[in-house]
Structure 1
Amino acid sequence: MYLNCHTYYSLRFGTFSELELLQLAQTNHVTQLALTDINNTSAGLNFVRKAKQFNIRPILGIDFRNGVDCCFVGIAKNNEGYQELNAFLSWHLHKEEKLPAIAPHFDNAYIIYPFEKVLLNDQITFSEDEYIGISIADLRRLPFSKLVELKSKLVVLQPVTFRNKRDYNAHRLLRAIDNNTLLSKLPKTEEAHEDEKMFPVQNLAAAFSEYPFILENTEKLMNSCSIHFDFSEGREPQNQKTYLQSKEEDERLLEELCRKGLPYRYPEMNDTILNRLEKELGLIKKMGFVSYFLINWNIVSHAQKKGFFYVGRGSGANSIVAYLLRITDVDPIELDLYFERFINLYRVNPPDFDIDFSWRDREEMTQYIFDTFKNVVLLGTYVTFKHRGVVRELGKVFGLPKNEIDLLADGRYQPSRLDEVSNLVLKYGELIKGMPNYLSIHASGILISEKPAHYFSATHLPPKGFATVMFDMVIAEDVGLYKYDILGQRGLAKIKETMEILEASRPEEIAKFDIHDIKAFKNDPNINNMIKSAQCMGCFYVESPAMRMLLKKLQVDSYLGLVAASSIIRPGVAKSGMMREYILRHRNPGRAEEKAHPVMLDIMPETNGVMVYQEDVIKVANCFAGLDLGEADVLRRGMSGKFRSREEFQKVKDKFIGNCREKGYDDKLIFEIWGQIASFAGYAFAKGHSASYAVESYQSLFLRTYYPLEYMVAVLNNGGGFYRAESYIHEARMLGATIHAPCVNKSQPANCLYGTQLYLGLMYLKELESRVMDRILKERTANGPFTSLADFLDRVVISIEQVSILIRIDAFRFTQVNQHELLWQAHLFLSKGMLVEHPKLFPPRHQKFSIPKMHTTDLEMAFTQLELLGFCLCSPFELLKEPLKNDHGSKDLERYLGNHIDIYGYLVTVKNTSTHNGKRMHFATLLDQHGEVFDTVLFPPVAAKYHFRGRGVYRFYGKVVSEFGFLSIEVIKMLKQDYIQDPRYADMKTANKVFSNKK
């Protein structure tokens, strides 16, 4: 009898989930009900999936509203009706147009107009599928309305938005947040009525007892509705079924492409390769995944034609078919990649292909997919209310001052000292926390379905302009929609731009190598030595302090070693304690036989009996615990956040333990192995995934080894990496570049390289407008370099504020005129704020001014660079107020091993972390005064006493220690060093005297 039920996906309006709605209905003895969220269908599929567990027959619809004003409620008669309603809503959401007061005709959906709306619109004629909705509140007025005569058109429309008073209070707060207003000023018209509740069926029937025909009409309408989606384990995928016209054509094409790919990938063929290919092709056909592979092949083929760099990874990287189709660059034969992780008969969903493109190319690739295939949408996700955000929003709603909101949001308060209003903020914050706040886009997922997307959901149109469904990847997989992951990353852009720089400056070099010849890179001793020494600044996935530390500890000097390191670094392996154990076994070959269980060592000889990759879970579950491959895959999926059936996972866990006991393993061993599996928690990589990362790492390492300056410029021009731009500029200097501040004659918006001369891009001048950069480049390209400041001002439309930035950063140094003099000249030439927006017809006549001689010091320039660029181009050690007391650096650590050292370091990065008992500690990476890197650790007692206070130079006193050959300093004392006072605002004589003494 309930045709208008809302969940919290009626965003900033509803107050509970679709499961709680079903629970509420079951409690009230309701056997069928309609979910009709306001302009939203996020909960629809899961509502249908779960309804059977509550013995409820689900019906789907949409509450169409302009704001909170209900126009009408659409109820789908069947799946086709749901598609019609979704398409209608989507059109209005995409166009951002108001919904009409009168609904269009739907072939397979009912329309119910609220009683109040019918009275206002004076609509008397209704089509066969249109009804008037009567709520309990409307019953008081129904006898006095002529609508009572339309007996066949009246149905129950009792909205359900709340369960209790608390829900109603939460609703009012959500409405205040949505309206950005104080709760006390929230208009009543923006709220739902407090009686929008669900009553037991018998109570509802009693309320309408005087109008039995209304109940009969409602039941008849509901009984005529039927909605079905297949959520069974054996469901067919809902992805596009065929790539060509038929399944047979698809299979022939896939076989043909594999045959073509064999000579390219395997010049020397053997039975191992052919048998693996035959086995894979058989299973891919049997599982119905042929079109999935061909669509991915189409995508990467287009990328190849466009010259776009890409990396195919995910579990699909375990596939020889994917390797032959060039979806991936990982050879599963070479790496002995576990076939069953890629695909097995128990696996319903296709393998994952995560295809990374350059962040510059991703949008074009997405547009290509939308243009090429028929039913394409982006996958949605929900941004939920988090604690800090909720507290800030509710703080504003309750009228708290900003300082009190900050204290509450940051948790800096004593509960006993909070007033009533602050307690309400925290109380209702807990209630709202976790509710969806607004719809967003999945980071990478694209759906290409056989049926139109609106068969499953309405779509909205985020800023990028691609239609996006209203459900997430978990719901998508539940219904058989499997995503194509198209991601953007900066590592590929760095490789591509390095190639472009070489093409422009040294084209003869491009002919010397093939950037896709990974086999040659793997065997290059120079590259492998770089990995072993962990000199990988700027290189994809191997540059972070943690990875640098691991590479040193593992003594990695090969591709296979890097593949393992890429997965070992993940939190799951580290958390289980197996990272340390892996290092110990790697460095001490006899330890594996001593410590590892023989079965574990037999299953994973390559990793010394330690679980490192996702497929190791399947191997251990299958071989160690005797689970079949389907059950083993349940364990693997159960470790990830996207797994749904915890009951199924628990059953498999119980069977794992039971089987191990039957095999005679003692409980200590069983639970130790289970603990290792559980600790992976979805973080471990598939081996093929790690191998794909390692391929990209080797490409970037090759360029870093042989074309270091070009590569470092590309790194800087693509947003850097793990570190700040300043660190990569320093690295370029250490690699032989001379660094120049931006120059109006030499610089581009991005960084550019002339031989070994690196000119910083105008983009680093944070306050310089992009339109000014465009004008400078356009004029310089058209009419040649600028000869003087006057020439520049004549040719470029610019304000005094903008030209001052360029003068202060010394962008006119080619004039050999002091910047103070240039500033005077600019002020005399330009009146403040005045711009001439048209070209000058005749060369201007310039008045000659007499300006006194001025000078600028290096110290002034350093502080100006700090202000305008965010970093200075001299050594930060030159800016210290007090001279250095020693010249210790990274080179001295080995000499001081086991002893204490006094050392200065410029902060590069800090990792704040916690011990297992929650105590704070820090790992910090710094540059010494000679430009070399060293690492420090502040254990909890020291971290509690000393704090990093932003970038700058710190003096450390601590003990030099070694762990597996990696040297670091356990800090005992630390003090941040003061800089000289900025001479631009200080006594110039004093400041410059200190500076010159230091130099």
Structure 2
Amino acid sequence: SVIAYCLGITEVDPIALDLYFERFLNVKRKNPPDFDIDFCWNQRDDIYDYIFQKYGEENVALMGSMSTFKGRSILRELGKIYGLPKADIDRLVKNPDSMLNKNEVTEMIVSVYEKMKDFPNQRTIHASGVLISEKPLTYYSALDYPPKGLPTVQFDMYTAENIKLEKFDILSQRGLGHINDCVVMIQENKKEKVDVHQPERFLKDPKIAAQLRSANTIGCFYIESPAMRQLISKLGCDTYPVLVAASSIIRPGVASSGMMKTYIERHRNPASVDYIHPVFKAQLEETYGVMVYQEDVMKIGHHFGGLDLADADVLRRMMNNKYRDRTEVLELKARFFENCKIKGYTEKTTELVWMQMESFAGFSFNKAHSASYAVESYQSLFLKTYYPIEFMAAVLNNYGGFYQRKVYVNEARKSGARIALPSVNDSQYGASVSGVTIYLGFDCFLNLEAKVARCIVEERNRNGQYTSLENFVLRTHIGLEQVVLLIRCGAFRFLQIGKKELLWEAHLLMSGQQKVSMRTEMPLFATSSRKPILPKLETSLLEDIYDEIELLGFPVSESMFYLTKSDYRGDTLAVELLQKEGEVVRIVGDFVCDKTVHTKNGQLMKFGNFFDVNGDFIDTVHFPPILKSYPLQGNGVYLIEGKVILDFGVPSVEVSRCARMPLKPDPRSL
């Protein structure tokens, strides 16, 4: 609403975007509108505390919900009830057509499977809903205290609406954390104060436009996913309105309906657009006659079908609501058709328009939401364009987004950062920046206790840097197991002593040590224990890399390509694919992620995403027969063979064969 914009609650100007107020509030709306506000993911608990204190615990509670039995979970639950071993349950779920599943028990499970679908499973908590009432909520529901420790009602949002209770969605996301932390890091590292508000200036910045057009968007909120980066490239997206539209057409329903393809074709060649009716050109020229947003259904219902905006919004909500009353829809449809007849439209044109409205409204997106997401994406793009190192460190500190951590480390390197392993004298709990160096934080360890990580930093801040392994142990009183993790990851490399020598020293120093609480004071006198006299111990980069993979989950000192037995890197690179349309290529890629989809006949296929040796992305397509013969098996370096295909100028490899490349043996186990 305009009020929310004027108060600074939102950065989206509803007048500039021609947003209908009737979408938010109108005389025929029976329920109050939702007011959704996104908060930073690590601040949501503070917001809960504020609401409960402000309105009182008697009048505030979290929204309840009911989870239902769906998909594979039904098979797993029934498998447990019938006493099947885990291996049999896994086979039934992952390979239902296996001959080993043809027995009396599994046939019974399959027969019950369909009957249990959508049955209630267990009570749970709504993802973000909070109820605030005038009377104590115990007037309406018993309350309980699930693991969150906050009172929760025992009914869901639909019951709350019927009772006329007000629901507020307190949403959280990590994208805001990226922005907040990045601004702080820039201040600390570059002594610059950055303002990310009033984003209108970002929308006109040519450098940001170029960054967006190149689809170099890793870390930038929802526009970082493989599908979104491909869509940006296909559209040549470099403006705010196009990004707002892309936010809506990327949704699964739109893509499967063919609307995404239609929009891309019309965007790339506006002269070819053939509008159904002049009203479509007048109202939907911005989106080339395609109904991209929920508000577009209102526009056509009002300007083409003669409904007032209140009725047009009622129609939009009915079409979009799976609990809709078909009688009311039919009444509005009759009025729509009658108005069109009076206006002189042919019945064929009216039927076509109604069909488009009905088919699209069910999965279209709210334009205000799309615009809000696009604004946040531009704020992230601004920071990534002008402060890429600080931005990627902030992404790491908020635990990324769509990808695993190694992707963001790779992106930081490509942005010019030097990546440093955790160090007891330089690292913070999270990632930190010094010049062009990003020190990984102690939080990136897979098995380092959080209290240990915080103790290391707090003790160093109080009493200065650590001078030796013994000094570290005496000051922190950290146990041997945790010290070993730090040594193996190179956290004591400032001592310029080999890791194996330090491991010997740690075991001799701490052998027989009793577990004690971590101290916070300096020892009164500095001590010096005898160090072992050792022969020269061998070490290798290969051993270090395997340590890093075990302890952090990804290598830092080298890439995964260093581990392959073969030096073969294929006959092409990611940047060369655009010039090789139709050619069969071999390319070597480090697995990033994949997405499984069902074809129209129910078979499984996948879209894959890999790095090449230069850290550039490769997109792959794995059709069902190929996927069955050459399955993707998660992380690893793959040799991929396939034909290069272009879709609206965006290359991908249609895979004919692929397999993980063998790695050099782990020297630690030899």
Question: What TM bracket, shorter-length normalisation?
Answer: over 0.9
The Cα offsets for residues 612-643 of structure 1, whole Å up to 9 and x where unpaired, read as: 01011112223333344444333322343464
SS in 1 for 2:579: coil
In 2, distance between residues paired with 1:324 and 1:846?
Answer: 67
SS in 1 for 2:224: coil
The structural deviation recorded for 1:579 is 1.2
| Map of 2:66 onto structure 1 | 382
Question: Is the 1:908–1:951 Cα contact (8 Å) retained in structure 2?
Answer: yes
2:406 aligned to which of 726, 739, 742: 726
Are 1:693 and 2:377 an aligned pair?
Answer: no
SS in 1 for 2:614: coil
* Highest RCO, 1 vs 2 (Cα 8 Å, sep ≥ 6): 2
- Structure 1 pair 421–942 and aligned structure 2 pair: CA distance change class (3 A): closer
SS in 1 for 2:245: helix
In 2, distance between residues paired with 1:609 and 1:395?
Answer: 50
| Map of 1:563 onto structure 2 | 244
In 1, distance between residues paired with 2:582 and 2:117?
Answer: 50
2:45 aligned to which of 360, 363, 370: 363
| Map of 1:211 onto structure 2 | none
Are 1:916 and 2:600 an aligned pair?
Answer: yes
One-letter amino acid matched to 1:369: I
The structural deviation recorded for 1:448 is 2.0
- Structure 1 pair 501–358 and aligned structure 2 pair: CA distance change class (3 A): same
The Cα offsets for residues 865-908 of structure 1, whole Å up to 9 and x where unpaired, read as: 11111111112111111111546212212332333322211121
1:569-968 residue pairs with structure 2 within 5 A? 569-592=250-273, 594-641=274-321, 643-653=323-333, 656=336, 669-680=349-360, 682-831=362-511, 834-837=514-517, 842-873=525-556, 874-884=558-568, 886=570, 888-968=572-652
TM-score (norm 2): 0.93
2:36 aligned to which of 336, 354, 373: 354
- Structure 1 pair 415–891 and aligned structure 2 pair: CA distance change class (3 A): closer
Question: Is the 2:470–2:528 Cα contact (8 Å) retained in structure 1?
Answer: no
Higher mean alpha-carbon deviation, 768-777 vs 537-546, is at 768-777
Question: Is the 2:221–2:376 Cα contact (8 Å) retained in structure 1?
Answer: yes
One-letter amino acid matched to 2:162: D
- Structure 1 pair 876–887 and aligned structure 2 pair: CA distance change class (3 A): farther
In 2, distance between residues paired with 1:664 and 1:916?
Answer: 40
Are 1:331 and 2:24 an aligned pair?
Answer: no
One-letter amino acid matched to 1:564: A
SS in 2 for 1:936: strand
| Map of 2:223 onto structure 1 | 542
The structural deviation recorded for 1:833 is 6.1
- Structure 1 pair 965–422 and aligned structure 2 pair: CA distance change class (3 A): closer
Are 1:478 and 2:162 an aligned pair?
Answer: yes
In 2, distance between residues paired with 1:799 and 1:824?
Answer: 15
1:400-415 residue pairs with structure 2 within 5 A? 400-410=84-94, 412=96
The structural deviation recorded for 1:670 is 4.7
1:441 aligned to which of 125, 130, 133: 125
SS in 2 for 1:356: strand
- Structure 1 pair 716–672 and aligned structure 2 pair: CA distance change class (3 A): farther
The Cα offsets for residues 252-300 of structure 1, whole Å up to 9 and x where unpaired, read as: xxxxxxxxxxxxxxxxxxxxxxxxxxxxxxxxxxxxxxxxxxxxxxxxx
The structural deviation recorded for 1:563 is 1.2
In 1, distance between residues paired with 2:29 and 2:394?
Answer: 42
In 2, distance between residues paired with 1:462 and 1:686?
Answer: 32
- Structure 1 pair 396–534 and aligned structure 2 pair: CA distance change class (3 A): closer
Question: Is the 1:959–1:970 Cα contact (8 Å) retained in structure 2?
Answer: yes
- Structure 1 pair 695–945 and aligned structure 2 pair: CA distance change class (3 A): same
In 1, distance between residues paired with 2:216 and 2:604?
Answer: 29
The structural deviation recorded for 1:855 is 2.7
1:497 aligned to which of 181, 185, 188: 181
The structural deviation recorded for 1:547 is 1.1
In 2, distance between residues paired with 1:333 and 1:433?
Answer: 45
Higher mean alpha-carbon deviation, 448-457 vs 390-399, is at 390-399
- Structure 1 pair 742–885 and aligned structure 2 pair: CA distance change class (3 A): closer
Are 1:487 and 2:158 an aligned pair?
Answer: no
- Structure 1 pair 898–392 and aligned structure 2 pair: CA distance change class (3 A): closer
Question: Is the 1:571–1:680 Cα contact (8 Å) retained in structure 2?
Answer: no
- Structure 1 pair 765–566 and aligned structure 2 pair: CA distance change class (3 A): same
One-letter amino acid matched to 1:330: V
The structural deviation recorded for 1:477 is 1.9
| Map of 2:210 onto structure 1 | 529
SS in 2 for 1:894: helix
In 2, distance between residues paired with 1:388 and 1:915?
Answer: 18
Q: Percent identity?
A: 49
The structural deviation recorded for 1:803 is 1.2
- Structure 1 pair 389–899 and aligned structure 2 pair: CA distance change class (3 A): closer
Question: Is the 1:549–1:966 Cα contact (8 Å) retained in structure 2?
Answer: yes
1:167-206 residue pairs with structure 2 within 5 A? none
Question: Is the 1:637–1:643 Cα contact (8 Å) retained in structure 2?
Answer: no
The structural deviation recorded for 1:489 is 0.6
- Structure 1 pair 954–455 and aligned structure 2 pair: CA distance change class (3 A): same
SS in 1 for 2:320: coil
One-letter amino acid matched to 1:515: V
One-letter amino acid matched to 1:835: K
SS in 2 for 1:483: strand
Higher mean alpha-carbon deviation, 420-429 vs 973-982, is at 420-429
The structural deviation recorded for 1:537 is 0.8
In 1, distance between residues paired with 2:578 and 2:633?
Answer: 28
In 2, distance between residues paired with 1:650 and 1:948?
Answer: 48
In 2, distance between residues paired with 1:779 and 1:833?
Answer: 20
1:115-264 residue pairs with structure 2 within 5 A? none
- Structure 1 pair 373–587 and aligned structure 2 pair: CA distance change class (3 A): same
Question: Is the 1:391–1:425 Cα contact (8 Å) retained in structure 2?
Answer: yes
- Structure 1 pair 911–414 and aligned structure 2 pair: CA distance change class (3 A): closer
| Map of 1:6 onto structure 2 | none
RMSD: 2.5
1:259-278 residue pairs with structure 2 within 5 A? none
Higher mean alpha-carbon deviation, 659-668 vs 596-605, is at 659-668
The alignment covers a number of residue pairs equal to 664
Of structures 1 and 2, the larger Rg is shown by: 1
- Structure 2: which 5+ runs fail to align? none
In 1, distance between residues paired with 2:440 and 2:73?
Answer: 38
The structural deviation recorded for 1:844 is 3.9
Question: Is the 1:938–1:971 Cα contact (8 Å) retained in structure 2?
Answer: yes
One-letter amino acid matched to 1:968: S
The structural deviation recorded for 1:499 is 1.1
SS in 2 for 1:956: strand
Question: Is the 1:818–1:855 Cα contact (8 Å) retained in structure 2?
Answer: no
The structural deviation recorded for 1:935 is 1.7
Question: Is the 2:578–2:650 Cα contact (8 Å) retained in structure 1?
Answer: no
- Structure 1 pair 904–750 and aligned structure 2 pair: CA distance change class (3 A): same
In 2, distance between residues paired with 1:669 and 1:388?
Answer: 43
1:454 aligned to which of 124, 138, 141: 138
- Structure 1 pair 681–598 and aligned structure 2 pair: CA distance change class (3 A): closer
- Structure 1 pair 918–663 and aligned structure 2 pair: CA distance change class (3 A): farther
The Cα offsets for residues 928-949 of structure 1, whole Å up to 9 and x where unpaired, read as: 1112222222234433432211
The structural deviation recorded for 1:665 is 5.4
The structural deviation recorded for 1:692 is 0.9
The structural deviation recorded for 1:644 is 4.3
